[in-house]
Structure formats: C-alpha cells, structure tokens
A and B are shown apart, each in its own frame.
Chain A
Amino acid sequence: MSIKGQACVAGIYEHPTRRADDLSIARLHADVALGALADAGLSPSDVDAYFCGADAPGIGGFSMAEYIGLNNLRYMDTTETGGSSYLLHVSHAARAIATGQCNVALITMADRPLAAGAGPVLAGVDMSKVPEREFAPPVMVPPVYGYAMVAKRHMHEFGTTAEQLAWVKVAASHHAQYNPHARLREPMTLADVMASPLVADPLRRADCCVVTDGGGALVITRPEIARSLARPVVKIAGAGEAMRHSRGGRIDLLHSAGVFSAAKAFEEAGVTPGDIKYASLYDSFTITVIMQLEDIGFCEKGMGGRFVADGNLISGIGRLPVNTDGGGLCSNHPGNKGGMTKMLEAVRQCRGEAHPSVQVADHGLVLAHGTGGLLSSQHMAGTVILEAA
C-alpha cells in the first residue's frame, strides 16, 4: 500500500529557545504541541493519534498525552530510533491515516540537555544492559569518535578532504545568518572552519553540531482536513526506513541505511533524486551530510566531498540547497536529535515559507532525511519526501 498523497503536514512549530533553563521537558512538549496545533488551526481535542520518542518522560506517550490534554486518543506510536525517530513518526502517522486508524496525528519532540548539564546523550535511552556493552572497549567512546572514523575511512577510500568537510559547515553557517533563532549566526569562511581545533581527527569543533535545548512538533492529517485549514497544503509523497548494525563483526563504514530508506521513499513517491530541489539532511557532523548525499543518490558513492565543495549546498548558489535553517551544525539540534528540525525546515521550504534569502524558487518537491544512532555501528535511517499541493 502506498501512502502517496494520503496524508499531509498541516501544522509545524519549532521552539525558539536553544537553552531552556526555566522550562521543564513537559512544558517544552506542551509548548511545541500547542504551537503546531495553532499553526494548523486545530486544538488538542482534535488530535486522535500521538507520536513521541523516548525524550517524552513516562511510559511511552502516557504522561505527555495527559499533560498536553490529548483526551481523544485512539492511536499511539512511541518508536525510538534516536535522531531519526520523528521522520519515522511522519511515515507511521501517514500510514495510520491512510489505513483509516486516525485522522489528526500529533508528533512532539523536546529535551533540555544543556540546562540539565547532560551533554551529548539521548534522553530515556538506557545502554547499560545492551549485550554488546560488555564487549565494548574499556574506555567510553563518545559518538563523535565513531563519526570521525567514518570520515577518516571516507578520506582514505575516496580522497575526501578536510576542506570538503568544512564546506558543509560553511553552507550551514551561511544559511544560519538569516535565522534569528540560530544558536550560531556568524557566517564562517573555509579558513574559519579549518582553524577550529581538532576534536577527533579529522573532525574539528566546527564539524560538530550544536548541543541545544528545545524541540518541535508536527501535525499530520488526512488531505480533506488539511485542505479545509488555512495553511498551504504539504502532501507526504513517500517515505522509507531502514536499519543497519554491525552484524556480529561486519561493520560497513561506507554505506548507511540511507541507501535503503531513500530507495524505498523514491519508489513510493515515484520520483528520483534529480527531481528534489531542496533537502534537509541530518547533520550531526559534517561527514553525516556527505554520507547521506551519496546514499540517497544525489551523487555517486565517494563523490560526496566533491559534491559539497564550492558552496554547492548554499541556497541561491549551489545545485542542492541543504538545511537552509542553519541545520544542526549552526541552528538547532535539540536533545541531540535532529530529525524533527529536519522535517520542520523541509515543510517551510515546501510551503514557500523559508526565509526569503534562502527560500528555493522551485519548491514543489523536497526531501527530509535522518540517521539515528551511530553511523559506525547501529543506526536507523528515515526518509520523507514532501510535495506541495
């Protein structure tokens, strides 16, 4: 069964905060829920399906459903796949609507790692009992090192350079200057990025995304409802998801699960990468963007470094504008999960409501893609293709 055109994004909201010292996690969830519902022109009582990840405190979505005041729920999905969770939620919501199980789905994401002093960890995820942990190295190896190893092998294999990685950040920072809420608004030159200190060779400080508090929400409805509302109609044209892990000692650093999730989404939407005029790509690190460009099919495997060079991801300059809100690299990466913000900017572009300085002219077909987990071991990719009605 295809979901093509069977569900629409009717409302979006991104919390303006980047550091929520005075806001609880529950309050953040409620803020973004009410924001997205208001954007759609709906109220909590209209919601009959709720989607959230492990950042929502409590058993699944129970506590947030009560706190927000979702009193008419008949469908719930608490899929947790790290940063890609919300892309999967969009796909699941569209499928639930298409099969008649609900009409108005609310997806929320919110966390406050900065205010809590927690650093780059995922809320509600307990790794202490995973079986592979016992066989993990004797020292803690934070995620950045996993991505650094992907980058190192990519360089070794394909001749990708540190400057090419840096171009991803240059593009993000160029876009971020137009986003008043961006955590880092100062445009960076290639030299600025290259002067940033090494964190995990070859990744520099500037190759890493920001750590921020906040979150966002999405409202997905059936097309009839979306058309009755005031906002531009954004149809879900196709979606895909796929997982990869180490397979007992068979790590593949060169291909992410995005190869499979994107192929599935393109098939469902009946389009090709060449048709996409804007892409929100997960940017936990600069290398993540390069990997995804290849895996989705925007360029050949190994050519990602060359693809991003010379401003090719900058709106108005390059062939494929990416992350025109400044992305996780410069604007927002709430709760160390970037999937929600990827969806939000893709919807803005598809509506034609991105900042005028970064809005793409031809915004009929856009894509949002994310990878949750760790590219170098276990991860899950989600791809969503949106179409302006």
Chain B
Amino acid sequence: MTIETKPPRAEVSPEARIFREAAAEGRFLIRRCGACGEAHYYPRSHCPVCGSRDVDWVEASGGASLYSFTVMEGAKRATAPAIVDLDEGLRINSVVLDADVHRLAIGDRVTVAFQADREGVLRLAFTTAEANAARAHTDAAMAAVAADEKAFAAGKPPVEIETVAVIGAGNMGIGITTAFLKAGFSVLMIDRAEEAFERARARIAETLERDVTRKRLSAEGAAATLARLATSTAMADLARADLVVEAVWEQMELKTSVFAEASRHARPGVCLCSNTSTLDIDEIAAATDRPDRVVGLHFFNPAHVMRLLEVVRGAATSEATLALAMQVGQRLGKVPVVVGNAYGFVGNRLMIARERQAARMLLEGALPRQIDAVLTRFGMPMGTFEMQDMAGGIELSYRNRQSTGEKNFIIDRLFEAGRLGQKTGKGYYRYEPGKTRPIVDAEVTAIIEAASADAGIERRAISDEEIEERLILLMINEGAKLVAAGIARRPSDIDVVWQTGFGWPSWKGGPMYHADRLGIGAVHARLVDLHARFGDPFAPAPLLETMARSGETFATLASSATGSETGTAR
C-alpha cells in the first residue's frame, strides 16, 4: 500500500530560517537591537524602533501572560485567539490552543507551544501549563497501555496473521473489514447471503475512494487493497483464516451458534473474537472448543476510523490470546485496551450512565441544547444528544426495549415521530438536508415537556453547574466502581478509553485524571450531597470513600491495592 503525502508548501522567508530551526527544537527566538536595546517580534534585518542594523536573535523564555483573549465558539479544536504579553515585554497577537479555553482569564500564564499549520510550517502558539500536565498524563497512560502487549506476550514470538475472517457483513463488519484491509491484512468476509457483500464492497470501495481523493492513497493502492478482500457464504471457508472476528446481530443464541460452528471450521489454536457490545464473553466462549482462545474485540463505530479497541478478557482468556489481540490491535493502528467482561465494558458503561442522567435532567427541566452546550464547553467534541443523533441512539434504545416492553416516554415519542437522528434529518434536534449542525426543534421541546407532565414532574431551571456535576461526577463515580472491580485494570485506562473512543480532550486528561484535579475528597463530598438529592446513581463508590479517607489519588493508587481489595477481572 502506498501512502502519498503532499510535501508541505515552503512558506518560509530566508530571514526566518534560524527562527524555524530553533522552533523545531522548541526554542522561541525574538530579535533585539544592539543600539537601542528594544526587542521586536519576527525577523527584520533592522530595528523597527530606531532603524539600526545592529540586531540579533535572542532566545525568549516562552512564558507569557494573557493580555486579552476570546474563544472560537464551536471550533472543533479548542482555540482561543489571544494577545499575550511575553515575559520579554512584547505584546503580540497569537492563539492559545488545545487547552481549557472556556476557563481562561486575563492575566493567566501561558507558555509557548509551536504548532505546525496545514502546510507543516511551525508557527507560534501558546498553551497552558495545566494542559501540558494533562498531556503528560495522557502520554504516560498511552505508554502503559502500549506496554501491555509485551507483558502479556511474556517473551513469546508474535503469531503471524495474514488472513482474517470477519463474520457478518453488516455495519460493523464492513468497518472492521476496512480497518484490516487498510492495515495490509487479507480479509475473508462471511455472511449468510451474497446480497450483503455487494453493499459491503461498495462501501469499502467508497472509503478507499475518499482516501484517493484526499491523496492519502494512490489509485493503484486502492485497487490492491480491495483485491485483498474475499467473500463467502460458507462457514467452512473459515479454515483459511488465521484469526476470526465475529460481528453478527447482537443476540446470544445467534452468537453461541456462530461460535460453535466457527470452532468446528477454524484451525486449532486460531483465536475467535467477538465484537459484541453487551453480551457475556464467557457464555460465548463456552460454546467453543477453545475458551482460552476466545476474546472480545470491541470496535467502535465507524470501526475503520475510531482508534479505541476494547480487548475484552473473559474468565478463560489466556494471556497469549490477549497478547495476540493487542498485537493485532496495534497493527490496525488502534489503541487496544484490555478491559474486564462486564456490561458495557469500560467505555459504554460510563456513557450509558451519562446518557441516563442526561435523560433524567430532560424530565426535570433541562433541554438537549443546554446539556450539550455544558458538555462542549467542558471540552467534549459534542454533547450526548448530538452524539445519539449521530449514532442512531434513539432507534437502538427503542428496538432494544421492544422485547422487554419497557417504556421510555421521550424516546418512544421521538421514534414514533420518525425522529431517528441525523439519518432521518431529525432526532433530538433537526438538521438541514445534508448538514450535521443541530438545530433546536420546538417539536422536541413539546415532547420533553409532555414527558415531564406525564411523569408528574414540575420542570425547573437547572444550572449549568448542576448539569456538569451530575454528568461528570457520575462518570467519575462509575469509573471508580470499574477500577474497584478490576474491569478497568488501571484508572488511567479509563482515561485512555474516553480519550480515544469518546473524544475526551487530551488537554483534560480523562475522567479519572479530572477527579484527581478536583480532589478525591471534594468529589466524594459532592457525590454524598448529590446522592441525597438525586438518588442511587450517585451513591459514592466505596473506593472513593476509602481514597478520600487515605488521601490517595487515582494517580497514586497502586494496582495491587485495588486488586487485593476487590479482586481482578472475571
């Protein structure tokens, strides 16, 4: 596969070469006049204050404080245009990037962080010390996850994987296949009927085509990639596979029968992986002849884009199997994180808790726009309702409840009104044709108000602060429970999961890192209060209480301590 990248357009003036070379080393140069002593910004061969040609480079400290700033509302990347006072006495136009821009104040300290522009030219920008600290935590958390592969492999040589079988040519199967193809694997797709393959091929070709248009892939490269895809309706063909990944419908009877059949056809020792998002891996593994070689590979939608891969460890899953899963995940360019076998695993567990609480606040008086705005100002790339509209959450929730008969006033009404999310042009919001910008819709407001009336709840104004607490502290609480139960092997794994799977910004570390910033004692105290007012979901995790008492933080929490207290993953 050939990856073509456009060479950066050189937009560097000859006089600025030294500045660029220093910037590449993270050093920030300014000019100082030998005659009048005045400094100036950006190179000239003379002093713009006195006209002398006796000017030279001097290294600036890189420290500055905010003279004024504003925030680019709605920007994908946290961006605050700023005028900064350099410690050397210059006041210049710049920008604060990748930091908690909604919490900046005039006078705040900022520090130089050169950033490449779209052409690859390093340009002056600033960030905050807090953001840098969070990124350092992120780097360490990522490194810890990356080291797991070796730890599980325990020195054994990696298994050679060439051909991967993907069972189920549906939405996830297509994304997973695309991911494997793009990483250089050969893929055999298996489904019950030929028709499924036509759609699958078309969608994969479309994705590759987009890469060609964006010049990330050559036309020949795209053709060669697609040529590595084979399809079959015969499970017997699994014999050709070095690895099997299942992505059929989410039903236990179906999954167990598929796994039983797969274990008949797949060569001995070949790993059987399931992409299930909610089902028990152990029950699936029990249907096979090789429970030690069964593992969950939980991809996130769209599977060829999202970096997170939850590697779900069943009770019988061997370390060698985990090592193989991690190895494959890394070859896919993903961030594989080993998690325990529990409902929702790690990522969705926190998300589901957040969604439920957000839905509860709709009944109490909030509206989707307010809740989503709190989350985006917090730093998330999108709010929970926007996300549900994008991912088809309304339909999923409605269909999942049909077997149980469980009711949900708001979601049922939205579904009945054809509001399935972005794909029908309306969900919690409405959307202009072909656009993804959510627009507030009075119909939804009316449904929400009716739901409150139906539940006998008198709507009240809910403050942004309350919304933030009830969503974020709840996630922290849920995360603490996962750490205690060993479902998350390290607090920082939760941070990695939420960064790579749900867009938690690296400049804010992750939910558990955030808990440490707030202070565990404070988090616990707030949860006690929220528990009294809003009930069970806020009952503080016992671990938080222990930590609050001992003064420990998630950063200092030794994995052995949690292990002895609560046991490890099932």
A contact residues vs B (CB 8 Å cutoff): 131-132, 134-139, 141, 145-146, 148-150, 152-153, 156, 197-203, 246-251, 253, 376-377
Contact = CB atoms under 8 A, between A and B. Distances in A.
Interface residues of B, number: 41
A134 B48 CA distance: 18
A88 to B, nearest CB: 24
Nearest to B105: A156
A156 B69 CA distance: 11
A228 B198 CA distance: 83
Contacts of A203: 70
Interface string B1-39: 000000000011100100000000000001000000011
Contacts of B79: 139
B376 interface: no
A150 B68 contact: yes
B69 A149 contact: yes
Contacts of B117: 138-139
Contact of A135 (B42, B48, B83): B42
B97 A139 contact: yes
Contacts of A253: 67-68, 83
A135 B30 CA distance: 11
Contact of B81 (A149, A153, A250): A149
A253 B83 CA distance: 9
Nearest to B33: A248
11 contacts: A135-B16, A135-B41, A137-B93, A149-B82, A150-B68, A152-B69, A152-B106, A200-B72, A200-B81, A246-B92, A248-B40
Contact of B12 (A134, A137, A141, A246): A134
B121 interface: yes
B92 A201 contact: no
Nearest to A145: B81
Interface in B72-97: 72-73, 77, 79, 81-83, 86, 90-95, 97
B49 interface: yes
A247 B124 CA distance: 18
A137 B81 contact: yes
Nearest to B123: A138
Pick the most buried of B44, B77, B95: most chain A CB atoms within 10 A of its CB.
B95
B555 interface: no
Contact of A134 (B30, B86, B121): B121
A146 B70 CA distance: 8
B205 interface: no
Pick the most buried of A131, A202, A250, A253: most chain B CB atoms within 10 A of its CB.
A250
Contacts of B38: 248
A376 B42 CA distance: 17
Contacts of B92: 246, 249, 251
Given A132-B42, A248-B44, 9 more contacts: A136-B93, A137-B125, A145-B72, A247-B48, A248-B39, A249-B39, A249-B90, A251-B93, A376-B83
A139 B67 contact: no
Contacts of B123: 134-138
B383 to A, nearest CB: 15
Contacts, number: 111
B124 A137 contact: yes
A152 B95 CA distance: 15
Interface in B92-121: 92-95, 97, 106, 115-117, 121
B71 interface: yes
A141 B97 CA distance: 12
Contact of B13 (A134, A139, A200, A251): A134
Contacts of B69: 149, 152
A346 to B, nearest CB: 31
A156 B107 CA distance: 10
Nearest to A199: B73
B449 to A, nearest CB: 20
A200 B102 CA distance: 11
B71 A201 contact: yes
B498 to A, nearest CB: 25
B123 to A, nearest CB: 4
Interface string B120-137: 010111000000000000
B73 A134 contact: no
A319 B44 CA distance: 48
Interface string B51-69: 0000000000000000111
Contact of A377 (B48, B71, B93): B93
B72 A251 contact: no
A145 B83 CA distance: 11
A94 B161 CA distance: 83
A141 B75 CA distance: 11
A251 B83 CA distance: 8
Contacts of B40: 248-249
B124 A135 contact: yes
Contacts of A251: 67, 83, 91-93
B370 to A, nearest CB: 13
B115 A246 contact: no
Nearest to B88: A249
B450 to A, nearest CB: 25
B93 A376 contact: yes
A134 B44 CA distance: 13
A198 B377 CA distance: 13
Contact of B42 (A134, A198, A200, A202): A134
Nearest to B19: A135
Given A201-B73, A253-B67, A134 B11 contact: yes
Nearest to B102: A201
B67 A153 contact: yes
B73 A200 contact: yes
Contacts of A137: 81, 93-95, 123-125
B48 A248 contact: yes
A156 B71 CA distance: 16
B50 to A, nearest CB: 11
Nearest to A377: B93
A137 B123 CA distance: 6
A126 B475 CA distance: 50
A136 B73 CA distance: 20
Contact of B71 (A150, A200, A247): A200
A378 B515 CA distance: 44
B95 A153 contact: no
Contacts of A145: 70, 72, 81
Contacts of B39: 248-249
A201 B68 CA distance: 11
Contacts of B11: 134
A145 B81 CA distance: 7
Contacts of B48: 247-248
Pick the most buried of A246, A248, A249, A250: most chain B CB atoms within 10 A of its CB.
A249
Nearest to A150: B68
Contacts of B70: 145, 148-149, 152, 200-203
Contacts of B97: 138-139
A81 to B, nearest CB: 19
A249 B81 contact: no
